[in-house]
Chain A
């Protein structure tokens, strides 16, 4: 089974900061990597699919990069509504869809 890790597990940042979250797969998953944002009490929301494709309606300050085993989600200028938990998810080894443990972004 493919294992997913994320770093950091949490971070504190200020509005306007550039934020980078890393996701690593235990084996190569090509570009089969998705990113989700989840706010407390809400369902996850798709941000990025296929490692770098921005989902329709998602602000352009969000971007994704990487392939193989190492991936990055970047928020270029953190906004108040971006404080949330972010999850990566591999879709290479299906039907098992593995999520990373999450990265919580809170206010410094």
Chain B
């Protein structure tokens, strides 16, 4: 079964650091594009970061320079290192695989988030 399980959330003071983990099963993290998406309490979904299978990484402007996405191929796990945390970073953080369509001939390939993990709550507060 294809599954993602996030861990590492919690209460952290402003300016602090936290590392989220996302353990994958049923597929290989390093062979896929993987992403983090967050949702502030009562708000909508916000894309945070993506790591491509080749290792390139990209970030939303709101977290650029503070967050780092990475993976451990031996553990088949995705990470999000979050530094200099702010109150506005309070959210449920989801990891998701970026599934891509290689059969329709579209260029670039169609892509979408599936599956998603269950999410982990990060609360930044003093």
Contacts and interface: CB of A to CB of B under 8 A. Distances in A.
Contact of A46 (B37, B60, B113): B113
B110 interface: yes
B110 A43 contact: no
B22 to A, nearest CB: 12
A97 B47 contact: yes
B47 A43 contact: no
Interface stretch (B23-31, B75-83, B114-122): B114-122
Contact of B60 (A34, A36, A96): A96
Interface of B: 35, 37, 44-47, 50, 52, 58, 60, 94, 99, 101, 104, 106, 108, 110-114, 116-119
Interface of A: 31-32, 34, 36, 38, 42-46, 49-50, 53, 55, 87, 89, 91, 94-102
Contacts of A45: 116
A98 B48 CA distance: 10
Contact of B112 (A38, A43, A91): A91
A99 B111 contact: no
A55 B115 CA distance: 11
B58 A44 contact: no
Given A87-B44, A96-B47, A32 B110 contact: yes
B108 to A, nearest CB: 7
A97 B50 contact: yes
A93 B60 CA distance: 13
